[in-house]
Amino acid sequence: MRVRRRKGAEEHLANNPHYVILNPEDAKGHWQEIFGNDKPIHIEVGSGKGAFITGMALQNPGINYIGIDIQVSVLSHALDKVLASEAENIRLLQVDGSSLTNYFADEEIDLLYLNFSDPWPKKKHAKRRLTYKTFLDTYKQILPEHGEIHLKTDNRGLFEYSLASFSQYGMVLKQVWLDLHASDYEGNVMTEYEQKFSDKGQVIYRVEAMF
């Protein structure tokens, strides 16, 4: 997903260093100090405009959240939501999900979310999917032993690919939802894309996978 360049986005991020981590390499191994407590840390890779990560932070004050997105303009929209929420347990990071080991020490993260990741349907682009095995290598390193990835998508192709990729990696599929919104799953926080696709009547898939 490409979002139109937002005027002033870079300045907006730079002007809010409390919420946006501007020197992410320096944060590696210091996330508890950044949050000022030792609560568990959950991250969303590809957090988009931030509805999920902000909603989760408000719903779960006992957990610290980090929204990660590669695009400056997208993250600047997420920053608006973070500022409006006044949640203290949330930070934002503008980096590539493929290089998370530069910004997080081994086992520094407790849980990782992937929501409505770009599907990259062409086979030649499989390496760009956020559930490709090189991404799983990265996630495994920063999660604890038996750490978990929770994924939601409307895209059946990406869902099937991700289930296979997790399995081939030796991960355990703890639970799978083929129609999340018709299930008895409680406490679901919608993402922007989830809202858009469910409004169109599309089913939402979800999986919890464990290393």
Ligand X SMILES: C[S@@+](CC[C@H](N)C(=O)[O-])C[C@H]1O[C@@H](n2cnc3c(N)ncnc32)[C@H](O)[C@@H]1O
Question: Where in the sequence numbering do the catalytic residues fall?
Answer: 118
Which listed range, 13-21, 112-120, 169-177, 178-186, lies at the site for ligand X (CB under 6 A)? 112-120
Separation between Cα atoms, residue 12 and residue 113, nearest integer Å: 25
Cα distances (angstroms) measured from residue 26 to each of 10, 19, 167, 188: 19, 15, 34, 33
Near ligand X by CB under 6 A: residue from 34, 58, 63, 70: 70
Near ligand X by CB under 6 A: residue from 101, 118, 203, 210: 118
Tell whether residue 191 is among the known ligand binding residues.
yes
Going residue by residue from 137 to 166, which x/- string records binding to ligand X, judged by CB under 6 A?
A: ------------------------------
Residues β-bridged to residue 115: 152
Six token digits for residue 119: 């599907």
* Strands across the sheet containing 41-45: 90-93, 64-68, 41-45, 111-115, 148-153, 205-210, 172-177
Near ligand X by CB under 6 A: residue from 103, 116, 159, 166: 116
Contact status: 80 vs ligand X (CB under 6 A) = no
What is residue 5's DSSP assignment? Answer: P
Determine the 3-state secondary structure of 176 from DSSP.
strand
Q: How far is the CB of 51 from ligand X (least distance, A)?
A: 7
Residues tagged in the binding site annotation for S-adenosyl-L-methionine? 44, 69, 96, 118
- Residues found near ligand X in the complex (CB under 6 A): 1, 45-48, 68-71, 74, 96-98, 115-118, 191-194
